[in-house]
Structure 1
Amino acid sequence: MKKRSADTSPRARALFAAAALATALAAPCAFAGPTAAPANAYAYIGYPNDGQTVPAGKPFKVWFGLRYMGVAPRGVKFPNTGHHHLLIDVDLPPMDQEIPSDRNHLHYGAGETETLLELPPGKHTLQLLMGDDKHIPTNPPVYSKKITIYVK
């Protein structure tokens, strides 16, 4: 019996690539939560600005911006809404799990759009991440650019 070799013709490779792409597109996304968000929505930090220095030893205001999406408190499930989470000195968490709640992941589940924050002297990063009614990032994830501030 003659052994068959794999078909490596351009046509076979194209069919394989098309099948792999169709499978990937049909599979549920494991990289974000179950709550839909508008594709054009984005979050931003309105203050402080990237690279800004804020005074040490006293609280400073951080205000949150959001476009093409609404803010709703935790537990309120309404289309195209979520609530803010402020990430301090950390990278984005897994997008298919509940956002941690600790000193580096602050939750604003009452629907707040600003806060007073006091940080120790030094270089810090801030980033916003929107969560759904259960603190899980939306799909697609809505987050701000990570900014760097200096506390002196």
Structure 2
Amino acid sequence: MLACFSHPTVAAAIVSALGETPRRALPLDHLGALALHHLILAGTGLVLVAITGIGLGILATRPGAASVRGGIDTLAAAAQAVPPVVVVALALPVLGFGGPPTLLALVLYGIMPTLRGTVGALEAVPAETREAAKALGLTARQTLTRIELPLAAPAIVETLRTALVLAVA
């Protein structure tokens, strides 16, 4: 239905009926270039969010990092609390117009869901599984890469899906 209303002929008729002068529609090649630019920004933002959010989530769940977990959560919540438009506006004097401030806003806005999803997924791995890995002689790194991350992967991927929806929106 939205696509029908967006067709240039229908949209021009609607705008005319509302008493406005119809404007020229964007050429399809220009619209395609804008859509591609949007997808590249969203994809790049997702990659940066995945690296940062999953990395911080892993760090926050390690036994030695219990003292910094509150700080990590606080920073992620603060980044989420600032609307992306405000981030872009504040970043303009430093980063200029275009992609860089938008990318910064995407990353800041996507870190908290990714961080919290990663923490939740890793904490959902049963303690017995970790103990079994330790009993088999696996190191902490091996337990993380061979046991915890594979078991947590479905929930982490779901978290990244959420981050992608936020980035595209």
TM-score in same-fold range (> 0.5):
no
Higher relative contact order (CA 8 A, sep 6+): 1
More strand by share: 1
TM-score range, shorter chain: under 0.3
